[in-house]
Amino acid sequence: MISFNPRQACLWIHRYTGLAMAAFLIITGITGTLLAFHEELDDIFNHKLAQVEKQNASHLPIAELHDKVISAYPQYNFSSMPTSIAAERSAVFSVDRARGKAAQNQPKAPFQQVYVHPYTGDIIGTRDRDEWAWHNTMWKVFWLHRDLLLGDIGKLLLGIVALVWTINCFIGFYLTFPRAIKKKAKNQTSPKKRASFLKRWLPAWKIRTKSNMFKLNYDLHHAFGLWLWGILFVIAWSSVGFNLREVYQPVMHAVVGLEGRDERQESSRKPPRKAEQASGAEIATSLKAVNNEAVDVVNKANSIAYLSEQANTAAQSKGMLVREFLGIRWIEDEGQWQLRFKTDKDIGKKGGASSITVDAITGRVERVNFGYQSGFGNKVDQWLSTLHMGHIGHGIGHLLYQIFLALVGLAVTVLSVTGVYLWWKGRQQRLKASQKLK
């Protein structure tokens, strides 16, 4: 009778799925290390467009710079603006991505970004991130990391790899456990008491410095996998979320109650709470008292200052502070301005950020969405993506996490390389053993 050995089965799965994933994980590990400093490296490769000489004078108003872009490219839409411009940096305006029916009526722009000199208003140049050019190096690194430069096929392939990697995280963790104690025969005398599980597991966390090449690779593979298990799982599973949403969404919905896109849109349409309406109602009342026929109280020229003030007021009413203003955009269909910002309670700068929307004519605050008020499932999703992309902390805290994330990328590469090495050495031993039996 053939007995089933779960450990041997897990070892076989871990070994050969690891071999199948090795090349993909090496690519994503190395590119991930670079992407931890995406913005900083992109500024180096793209310095001719992104950087300008600092001047003593103040830069032109952002609204005026936006007008320059619209005048230069009237056939395209630029509904968003930055909220500030750093010293020695050009102002960047992005072309709207046309979707659905709008994509049929609007011509596709041969570029995605326009760079403007903030002191003179001159157009420095445009950037097509799809172009193979030196200044697009980091974007090519990103797409190699995201879909192997193969589009949807590469995205699906890496999504499957990420799913297998996620499962392998648990299998690999199990394989670091010490082997189970075999039951002894009744008539066999028992030796001295065996060490506890934790003491027998402790060597798996250590790296023996005085050892041969095989033992060193073995220890690196085990120890790196254990030390970094949590973040490796986060990166693996969040990668499933980025590339294989049809698997990620139902699992996260069942486990943590993640809402789908339709559910989030429906909840966002609900009227704002009374506390969130207060500032807008007061503003509307005061405006009516001044001029009942006021038009465009909030225009392009004052939109950033006006919405920034309203965002600070709304955040303070909740006992929060605004850490960063992320961008402002004009919603033409609704005649509204919307500002995205990050508070000290929000998670990341993407899906976890807050926003405030104001009616352009009356100046009334239509709605305020605070990122921290998301449901538990959405917060878990936000944490996963934020940890993966490195949008954590500010200043030195952010830099330290960038360094950590870069080291994790190198660790993924080390785990893959050591795994292949261990398989190769094991295969040599198995071949030698089989030859001896002949």
pLDDT by residue, tens only, the chain of 438 residues: 456 789 999 999 999 999 999 999 999 999 999 999 999 999 999 999 999 998 888 999 999 999 999 999 999 999 999 999 998 999 999 999 876 555 556 678 899 999 999 999 999 999 999 999 999 999 999 999 999 999 999 999 999 999 999 999 999 999 999 987 666 555 555 556 778 889 999 999 999 888 889 999 999 999 999 999 999 999 999 999 999 999 999 999 999 999 876 565 555 554 444 434 434 444 334 333 334 444 679 999 999 999 999 999 999 999 999 999 999 999 999 999 999 999 999 998 888 899 999 999 999 999 999 999 989 999 999 999 999 999 887 789 999 999 999 999 999 999 999 999 999 998 888 888 878 766
Q: Based on the fold, state whether residues 357 and 432 are members of the same structural domain.
A: no
**What's the burial of 199, exposed, middle or buried (CB within 10 Å: 0-12/13-18/19+)?**
exposed
3-state secondary structure of 264: helix
Q: What are the CA-CA distances from residue 59 to residues 32, 56, 89, 116, 363 (Å)?
A: 35, 9, 10, 11, 27
Q: Based on the fold, state whether residues 171 and 254 are members of the same structural domain.
A: yes
Q: Is residue 430 in a domain?
A: yes
Kindly state the helix (H) or strand (E) to which residue 126 belongs, with its residue range: strand 123-127
Q: What are the CA-CA distances from residue 315 to residues 206, 252, 279, 371 (Å)?
A: 47, 30, 11, 11
Q: Based on the fold, state whether residues 246 and 143 are members of the same structural domain.
A: yes
Q: Based on the fold, state whether residues 253 and 398 are members of the same structural domain.
A: yes
- In 285-431, the DSSP E strands lie at 322-331, 336-343, 354-359, 365-369
Q: Based on the fold, state whether residues 215 and 344 are members of the same structural domain.
A: no
Range(s) of the domain holding residue 77: 53-118
State how many domains the chain has.
3
Residue ending a domain, among 347, 374, 401, is 374
Tokens found for residue 99:
């979707």
Q: Based on the fold, state whether residues 358 and 389 are members of the same structural domain.
A: no
Kindly state the helix (H) or strand (E) to which residue 93 belongs, with its residue range: strand 91-94
Q: Based on the fold, state whether residues 73 and 85 are members of the same structural domain.
A: yes
Q: Based on the fold, state whether residues 217 and 308 are members of the same structural domain.
A: no
Tokens found for residue 417:
């390389």
Q: Is residue 197 in a domain?
A: no
Q: Based on the fold, state whether residues 250 and 392 are members of the same structural domain.
A: yes
Strand order in the sheet with 322-331: 80-81, 322-331, 336-343, 354-359, 365-369
Q: Is residue 187 in a domain?
A: no
Kindly state the helix (H) or strand (E) to which residue 81 belongs, with its residue range: strand 80-81
Q: Based on the fold, state whether residues 73 and 161 are members of the same structural domain.
A: no
Q: Based on the fold, state whether residues 114 and 249 are members of the same structural domain.
A: no
Q: Is residue 188 in a domain?
A: no
Q: Based on the fold, state whether residues 285 and 365 are members of the same structural domain.
A: yes
Residue ending a domain, among 69, 89, 118, is 118
Residue ending a domain, among 322, 342, 374, is 374
Residue 385 pairs in a beta bridge with: none
